[in-house]
Chains A and B, each alone.
Chain A
């Protein structure tokens, strides 16, 4: 009965959601699994077929990271954000309270930011997410150790230990973390998430553990033809990301804090 209420409520709220959402939902409602599969980039599909679950603990021989070439990040495109929402079940969030308040309370793992240089007026676009620092402030401050860095460099939250104190959100210089302000329904098996815990981008950790090649945002950016985000192993000198990092001038956001972020930006 309770669920029915939620259902009607959420249908009411659907018109507020961006058009893309509605269109996608409608599409998925009608399209069968097969035709949907055809939409996915072939490479991605092949990878997931070949994927096998990890049997050994992750090691520090790899360090996952992203390189974002802001020159290629297109204005008005939010494919990476939508892909992330789909991948992690964030599009299943049911808006609560007033719309303006919900904008600040909903969980966001990746967002688009548009910047203007105060001196030159130059405009820059970029996606911003957890920067996967080598020395993450969120891990330092977490009282229970729920906020932790995996051996392969992924900074994430162990929701079993998270008590929802939100100190990590106070400490993060990138505002990368979100608190789950409401009950969740219909979570995805691969991405458990629930009320009262903090969460953030985990570089699609379930994809990492099944040996897939990239993240949802990267795939979406490739599919849009922008290729603004590169994912890979920062410790492997032959990986695409390492090669691109050697070619392109890049920097970290808030370099002054010397956190050695795993996400690097070119052209900002």
Chain B
């Protein structure tokens, strides 16, 4: 094992600037969409009084939980002391901060009165999980920046472990808090479940790692830095494991709901007759986002091929967006059970007449706003890796640390 050398990302300037320009253009379009939505009011979005959170929240929540998930790699290296993950720690921290920034921006840009953000900073209601999350998010940002410093600066070395520990605890709190935004809403059947907190943690593991792997592979390929098969095997096995953990939580969530008789109608709707939401649940979340990538990642031949691993990561992300759409929008679209045992025949406010789901179709400005958040996250990452030493020069097999679990290594070749 050699010393890990970190170096700035030095792809050809024209390539770098066109990438930057593309991201900046996406951000510019998102800014225009934001201006349009704010100027006109939210009627230009698909959101309404039944589905009050829409596409921006799908993007924002995905980015926020993926941000906390991306930090896992650093935690595994620092807190769980797996040396093979150490060289990845810096990129992991950078991605975490970048995605959180992107997600929060989308969230803020979707507010009805974004110019009053200062009110949210000066007036707190501590019975609200939202208010707590404001601290969790800003605190996360500060802690991860300190974490990055402790990884990169020689003087930071002694603080690396305690800060890493704090960051791990904090990120678990953050994701639980994000899940609890939904988990403690007694009003809506699909949300009224404490399991949403841990389930979001499990989802964040998979999404954060998938994004991390894509960025890592792209960054290394662009510049011709090597990633050895050992590192790839590590990451892809980890991703497959995380997907299965997420699946387990989804299974428990739905089994619980199926067992509770009053939630039968919800489950019947979501799993069988919910139209777009049923399709996204089975086709997007379960099949494309979980089962297919797992099959790829455990396939003896396909799992050896880089392109297939990239495809698996991309599918996990697609499945993640489908999952967010089902969790955030589907749960709101299902009518609230205000009058159990009754059917609503008429209503002046479309309260699920005859059990009908509330309508929602995202509009273009909403989607562009959400994409802007992704672009912000990527822009921060791209600038970060270019100007600072975030990426290790090589992740080839002879550079990365040997691991005790490394099965294909010679049994007694472990260094002292």
Which A residues are closer than 8 A to B by beta carbons? 78, 81, 96-97, 100-108, 111-119, 123-124, 128, 137, 139-146, 161-167, 169-175, 177-183, 195-198, 253-254, 257, 268
- Pick out which of these stretches binds chain A: B49-57, B167-175, B291-299: B49-57
Residues of A within 8 A of B359 (CB): 100-101, 104
Asked if A162 and B113 make an inter-chain contact with CB atoms under 8 angstroms apart, the answer reads yes
A to B CB contacts below 8 Å, 24 in the list: A78-B348, A96-B44, A100-B359, A108-B349, A111-B347, A111-B349, A114-B344, A139-B125, A141-B185, A144-B124, A145-B125, A146-B119, A161-B123, A162-B112, A162-B116, A167-B181, A169-B49, A170-B188, A174-B187, A175-B349, A179-B47, A182-B43, A197-B112, A197-B113
Residues of A within 8 A of B186 (CB): 137, 171, 173, 257
- Pick out which of these stretches binds chain A: B15-23, B128-136, B372-380: B128-136
The contact string, 1 if C-beta is below 8 Å from chain A, for chain B 35-54, is 00010111110111110110
Among B347-388, those with CB < 8 Å from A are 347-351, 358-359
Among B160-217, those with CB < 8 Å from A are 181-182, 185-188, 191
B338 CB to nearest chain A CB (Å): 6
Residues of B within 8 A of A108 (CB): 49, 348-349
Which residue of the partner chain, among A104, A114, A119, A253, contacts B350 with CB atoms under 8 Å?
A104
Asked if B346 and A112 make an inter-chain contact with CB atoms under 8 angstroms apart, the answer reads yes
- Complex-state Cα separation, A140 to B181, whole angstroms: 12
Q: B316 at interface (Cβ–Cβ under 8 A)?
A: no
Q: Give me the 7 closest cross-chain CB pairs, A-B, nearest first.
A: A164-B112, A111-B348, A196-B112, A104-B48, A143-B130, A173-B187, A114-B346
- Complex-state Cα separation, A78 to B348, whole angstroms: 9
Nearest A-chain residue to B49, judged by Cβ = A178
Residues of B within 8 A of A142 (CB): 125, 128, 130
Nearest A-chain residue to B341, judged by Cβ = A118
Which residue of the partner chain, among A161, A170, A177, A253, contacts B339 with CB atoms under 8 Å?
A253
Which residue of the partner chain, among B40, B42, B338, B344, contacts A253 with CB atoms under 8 Å?
B338
- Complex-state Cα separation, A113 to B181, whole angstroms: 29
Not counting A104-B358, A164-B111, a sample of 8 additional A-B residue pairs whose C-beta atoms are within 8 angstroms of each other reads: A117-B341, A141-B128, A142-B125, A163-B119, A166-B53, A166-B112, A170-B188, A175-B338
Given A161-B119, A180-B112, CB of A117 within 8 Å of CB of B342? yes
- Complex-state Cα separation, A182 to B44, whole angstroms: 9
Which residue of the partner chain, among A146, A162, A171, contacts B185 with CB atoms under 8 Å?
A171
Nearest B-chain residue to A141, judged by Cβ = B128
- Complex-state Cα separation, A178 to B348, whole angstroms: 13
Given A144-B123, A162-B112, CB of A112 within 8 Å of CB of B342? no
Nearest B-chain residue to A140, judged by Cβ = B127
Which residue of the partner chain, among B41, B129, B130, contacts A195 with CB atoms under 8 Å?
B41
Residues of B within 8 A of A141 (CB): 127-130, 185
Asked if A181 and B130 make an inter-chain contact with CB atoms under 8 angstroms apart, the answer reads no
- Complex-state Cα separation, A268 to B346, whole angstroms: 16
Asked if B112 and A195 make an inter-chain contact with CB atoms under 8 angstroms apart, the answer reads yes
B265 CB to nearest chain A CB (Å): 11
Q: Which of A114, A140, A163 has the most CB of B within 10 A?
A: A163
- Complex-state Cα separation, A34 to B236, whole angstroms: 80
- Complex-state Cα separation, A17 to B288, whole angstroms: 46
Q: B394 at interface (Cβ–Cβ under 8 A)?
A: no
Given A113-B347, A145-B125, A181-B41, CB of A198 within 8 Å of CB of B112? yes
Q: B336 at interface (Cβ–Cβ under 8 A)?
A: yes
Asked if A115 and B339 make an inter-chain contact with CB atoms under 8 angstroms apart, the answer reads yes
Q: B138 at interface (Cβ–Cβ under 8 A)?
A: no
How many residues of chain B are within 8 Å of chain A by beta carbon?
A: 54
Given A78-B348, A145-B123, CB of A163 within 8 Å of CB of B116? yes
Asked if B42 and A171 make an inter-chain contact with CB atoms under 8 angstroms apart, the answer reads no
B97 CB to nearest chain A CB (Å): 22
Q: B409 at interface (Cβ–Cβ under 8 A)?
A: no
Residues of B within 8 A of A177 (CB): 49
Asked if A179 and B112 make an inter-chain contact with CB atoms under 8 angstroms apart, the answer reads yes
- Complex-state Cα separation, A139 to B346, whole angstroms: 29
Residues of A within 8 A of B48 (CB): 101, 104-105, 181
Given A163-B120, A175-B336, A181-B42, CB of A143 within 8 Å of CB of B346? no
- Complex-state Cα separation, A162 to B336, whole angstroms: 24
B362 CB to nearest chain A CB (Å): 12
Given A104-B48, A195-B112, CB of A173 within 8 Å of CB of B338? yes
Residues of B within 8 A of A124 (CB): 342
- Complex-state Cα separation, A139 to B125, whole angstroms: 9
Residues of A within 8 A of B349 (CB): 108, 111, 113, 128, 175
- Complex-state Cα separation, A103 to B359, whole angstroms: 11
- Complex-state Cα separation, A254 to B114, whole angstroms: 34
- Complex-state Cα separation, A15 to B398, whole angstroms: 77
- Complex-state Cα separation, A179 to B54, whole angstroms: 14
Residues of A within 8 A of B261 (CB): none
- Complex-state Cα separation, A118 to B342, whole angstroms: 5
Asked if A96 and B43 make an inter-chain contact with CB atoms under 8 angstroms apart, the answer reads yes
Residues of A within 8 A of B347 (CB): 111-114
Asked if B111 and A181 make an inter-chain contact with CB atoms under 8 angstroms apart, the answer reads no
Residues of A within 8 A of B131 (CB): 143-144
Q: B260 at interface (Cβ–Cβ under 8 A)?
A: no
Asked if A115 and B332 make an inter-chain contact with CB atoms under 8 angstroms apart, the answer reads no
Asked if B348 and A113 make an inter-chain contact with CB atoms under 8 angstroms apart, the answer reads yes
Q: B273 at interface (Cβ–Cβ under 8 A)?
A: no
Asked if A116 and B343 make an inter-chain contact with CB atoms under 8 angstroms apart, the answer reads yes
Asked if A112 and B348 make an inter-chain contact with CB atoms under 8 angstroms apart, the answer reads yes
Residues of A within 8 A of B350 (CB): 103-104
- Complex-state Cα separation, A96 to B45, whole angstroms: 11
Given A111-B347, A137-B186, CB of A144 within 8 Å of CB of B120? yes
Residues of A within 8 A of B116 (CB): 161-164
Asked if B338 and A144 make an inter-chain contact with CB atoms under 8 angstroms apart, the answer reads no
Asked if A165 and B112 make an inter-chain contact with CB atoms under 8 angstroms apart, the answer reads yes
A193 CB to nearest chain B CB (Å): 12
Asked if B128 and A143 make an inter-chain contact with CB atoms under 8 angstroms apart, the answer reads yes
Given A142-B125, A170-B188, CB of A175 within 8 Å of CB of B111? no
